[in-house]
Amino acid sequence: MAQLALSNIQKSFGTFQALKDVNLEIASGEFICLLGGSGCGKTTLLRIIAGLETKTSGEMLLDDQDFSTVNCHQRNVGMVFQSLALFPHLNVGQNIAYGLEVRGVHKDKRQDRARKLLEVVGLSGLFDRPVSALSGGQRQRVAIARALAIEPKLFLMDEPFSALDAGLREHLQIEVKKLQRQLGVTTIFVTHDQHEAMSIADRIVILNEGRIEQAGTPTEVYAHPSTRFVADFMGTNNIFTSEFTPGQATMLDGANLGTPSGDMAKLSGKHTIAVRPEYLRLAPANEDTGDLIGTVNFVRLLGASIETELKVGERTFVHTQVSDRAPEFAVGDKAGISFDLDHAWVIPS
């Protein structure tokens, strides 16, 4: 297991700055997800750690030793590429043992290691099978076994499941997390899928335009986003600016949203807040109460939940409820909107 520390990492391609002052510490045995949209810098950062790209500036320490000048093949890093990059002319066992062969490990030892890893990833008996005869999920497992064969200090994965169907992708996410816990290897996993990151990461590192917006546990980044970008990016949020008066109801365009408690009850003036859809409340519209009134614009079933979208002027609000209940409102209905403000948070300006 290894501990990794990145300090002020920057990377430029000509005049384009792909990474800007990235600072990150990863504990030994931790499972980290680098999360963000296309072009945010997550894969560039992963490739710098692997030695496939050279940083422009900054410091990288692995177990307190600078490894930025160490050649890629000497870093003892296992990597699973998005394309998998399996060798088509080698069978399954030869693919897994390839890294050991390059390191001069005796044939018997590397074959024994390959067979043991095939058991670990659930592919016992496929040692001699051609790679071309494998399914997509089996190829993913072979790529994972190959990366782990060298007993790497760091295990890196670059969107390895993006091309798989939803069911297989979820199954492999669970299997990879179990395997990582079993082996205790420090793991960095790149994804653009927030649900994938939430389901497997010990910590999520959210990148935007080459910078880290927030790093925290899945619960932290979901329940307490530190920036407007994170609040928008992580799941669905109702984000709006409202007027606060200490100890009184919160107002939006003269309408009553509810009365906050705790620290939020002390707020004064205009603040931008975010509330998850599960903490939005709907009731039959009654304009006499001074509640915020919205018109139902869209209703859809999402398996375990029902999502209702409402329009209030130019604003859109989203409400969710468990799907074992019938939808409360149909398209075109008017509904009173209020919020459980105990589960809201203020977005820093």
Task: Calculate mean pLDDT across residues 300-329.
Answer: 88
Q: Where are the domains of the chain?
A: 4-232, 237-346
Tokens coding 97: 């043992």
Cα three-residue angle 202-226-300, rounded to 5 degrees: 80
Would you state the pLDDT for residue 163?
Answer: 75
Q: Which CATH architecture has domain 4-232?
A: 3-Layer(aba) Sandwich (3.40)
Banded model confidence at residue 302, pLDDT cuts 50, 70, 90: confident
pLDDT band for 212, please (50, 70, 90 cuts). Answer: very high
pLDDT at 296 over 80: yes
pLDDT in tens, 184-195: 999 999 999 999
- The tens digit of pLDDT for each residue in 78-132 reads 999 888 889 999 999 999 999 999 888 999 999 999 999 998 888 998 999 999 9
Band of pLDDT at residue 43, cut at 50, 70 and 90: very high
Q: Is the pLDDT of residue 1 over 60?
A: no
**pLDDT of 55-85, one tens digit each?**
999 999 999 999 988 888 888 899 998 888 8
State pLDDT tens for residues 228-241. 899 889 988 999 88
Mean pLDDT, to the nearest integer, of 9-35?
A: 96
Residue 349: predicted pLDDT: 67
Q: Cα dihedral angle (227, 232, 234, 236), rounded to 10 degrees?
A: 140
**Whole-Å CA distances, 271 to 149, 245, 260, 294, 317:** 53, 11, 13, 21, 17
pLDDT of res. 2: 63
Architecture of the domain defined by 237-346 = Beta Barrel (2.40)
Could you tell me the pTM of the whole model? Answer: 0.87
